[in-house]
């Protein structure tokens, strides 16, 4: 059995970047750790510690991630994710709660790490298309999230991912 396994889903590359940083941060040689895109997941890999990563869509994660999380038992599990709609602690806490419910109780939850991830330009275009149909204040707020996300994940986010790994492994 592996010591550490990083499994992730990423549509546009932000979460993949974070996953690779987490993988690099993990101690041990290649026989102790593995990184895998969820689309190549066949359930055959097993580990003591799981670092499960996803991008946030409609306030939650994808079905593939839910399937993996709910299949795990007696493991140590850490979550990580990128998202675009804000970077407040309260938003991250809500996301953590939304996703944690899929982890069976016999696992040991190590914590979660969230950071912003840039969104494609069609998201901005969609918000702009709401002008005249929705409240301008709401549109401006969404556009400010879009703008804020554009430079992420940045070096600070990657450094924090590294620290997150250290924290999880010291638990």
Ligand X SMILES: Cc1cc2nc3c(=O)[nH]c(=O)nc-3n(C[C@H](O)[C@H](O)[C@H](O)COP(=O)(O)O)c2cc1C
**Smallest gap from residue 56 Cβ to ligand X (A):** 4
**Smallest gap from residue 127 Cβ to ligand X (A):** 12
Q: Which is nearer to ligand X, 10 or 76 (CB)?
A: 10
Q: Which is nearer to ligand X, 15 or 49 (CB)?
A: 15
In this structure, the strands spanning 76-83 and 108-116 are parallel
What are the residues binding ligand X (CB under 6 A)?
10-16, 55-59, 82-85, 117-120, 123
**Smallest gap from residue 69 Cβ to ligand X (A):** 17
> Under DSSP, is residue 118 helix (H, G, I), strand (E, B) or coil?
coil
Q: Which is nearer to ligand X, 78 or 84 (CB)?
A: 84
**Smallest gap from residue 106 Cβ to ligand X (A):** 29
Q: Which is nearer to ligand X, 32 or 96 (CB)?
A: 96
What is the spatial distance between Cα 82 and Cα 98, in angstroms, rounded to a whole number?
15
Give the DSSP letter string of 76-93. EEEEEEEESS---HHHHH
Q: Which residue is nearest to ligand X (CB)?
A: 117
What is the spatial distance between Cα 91 and Cα 87, in angstroms, rounded to a whole number?
7
What is the spatial distance between Cα 136 and Cα 139, in angstroms, rounded to a whole number?
5
């Amino acid at each position: 059995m592996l010591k550490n396994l990083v499994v992730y889903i990423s549509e546009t590359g932000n979460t993949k970047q974070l996953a690779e940083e987490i993988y690099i941060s993990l101690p041990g040689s290649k026989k102790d750790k593995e990184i895998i895109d969820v689309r190549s997941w066949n359930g055959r890999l097993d580990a003591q510690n799981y670092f499960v990563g996803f991008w946030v869509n409609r306030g939650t994660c994808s079905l593939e991630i839910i399937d993996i999380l709910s299949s795990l038992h007696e493991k140590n599990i850490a979550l990580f994710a990128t998202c675009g709609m804000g970077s407040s602690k309260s938003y991250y806490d809500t996301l953590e709660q939304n996703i944690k419910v899929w982890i069976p109780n016999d696992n040991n939850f190590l914590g979660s790490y969230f950071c912003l991830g840039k969104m494609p330009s069609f998201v901005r275009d969609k918000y702009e298309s709401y002008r005249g149909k929705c409240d301008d204040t709401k549109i401006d707020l969404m556009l400010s999230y879009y703008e804020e996300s554009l430079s992420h994940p940045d070096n600070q986010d990657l450094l924090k991912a590294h620290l997150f790994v250290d924290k999880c492994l010291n638990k």
